[in-house]
Amino acid sequence: MNEPVVLIRLDDNGRVYRPGETLSGEYRVESLPADEVKAIELSVLWYTEGKGNEDMAVHEFKRLARDDGDWIELQRPSRFSTILPASPLSYDGVILKINWCVRVRVFPRQGKEVLGELPFVLGDVHGAEAVPP
């Protein structure tokens, strides 16, 4: 049996998003029967990367859980949409990077969580280079 996999697609894939614009797309879970899924979480979030400890904040979060009486459909792609915030903008610094992504986390009844992630760029900030102090 194939390993379960999460596929995420953005409607304007590859485009740079501007603050206040709508980010929309869909996700689907393959190789996992719907009745074996306990819950699915969709997040639009940013996280830092680099030398410092990782910080993370969720802009949009949606959880579907069977225990809460939610209907989980895996046959068809599930759509999502959110208006992007004014900040923080994506940033490629020297010891700090800020990355935005759509993350889908699937909790099966048995076995390990399945994670799918699709990065996107918010804003048009130039990359930084180290300069002498």
Partner 1 sequence: MSRSFRVYQKKRGHRRTGSGKLGRVGEILFFATFLLFGCVGLVVILVALVIPEWRANHEFVETICTVRSKELGQTQGEDGTLYRPEIGIEYAIDGGPHFAKTYDMCGSYSSDRAANQAILAQFDVGRQYPCWYDPLDHDVVVLARGYTWWLWLTFVVPISFLLLGGGGLLYRTMRWGRSAEHLAATARSANSRDGVDSNGSSRNGFPNVPVGTELTNSPGTRLRFRLPISAAGTWVLIGALVACGFWNGIVSVFVVKLGRDFMAGRPQWWLMLFMVPFVVAGIGLIVFFVRQVLIATGIGPTLVEISDHPLRPGRTYRLFVSQAGRLRMNSLVVQLVCDEHVRYRQGTDTRTETRRVHRQEIHGRKDFAIRLGEPWAMECDFSVPPGGMHSFKSENNEVRWSLEVQGDVAGWPDFKRAFPVIVYPDDPTERALA
Chain residues binding partner 1 by CB under 8 A are 18-19, 41, 43, 45, 48, 50-58, 61, 63, 85-89, 91, 93-96, 98, 103, 105, 113, 123-126, 128-133
Which CB, 51 or 76, lies closer to partner 1? 51
Sign of the C-alpha dihedral, residues 2, 115, 67, 73? negative
Cβ at position 56, least distance to partner 1 in Å: 6
Which CB, 37 or 98, lies closer to partner 1? 98
User: Using CA atoms, how far apart are residues 36 and 28, in angstroms rounded to an integer?
Assistant: 15
Q: How many residues does the chain have?
A: 133
Cβ at position 51, least distance to partner 1 in Å: 5
Measured between its terminal Cα atoms, the distance across the chain in Å is 56
Q: Cis omega before residue 4 (within 30°)? A: no
Cβ at position 89, least distance to partner 1 in Å: 6
Which CB, 28 or 62, lies closer to partner 1? 62
Which CB, 22 or 87, lies closer to partner 1? 87
CA nearest to 80, candidates 65, 109, 97, 101: 101
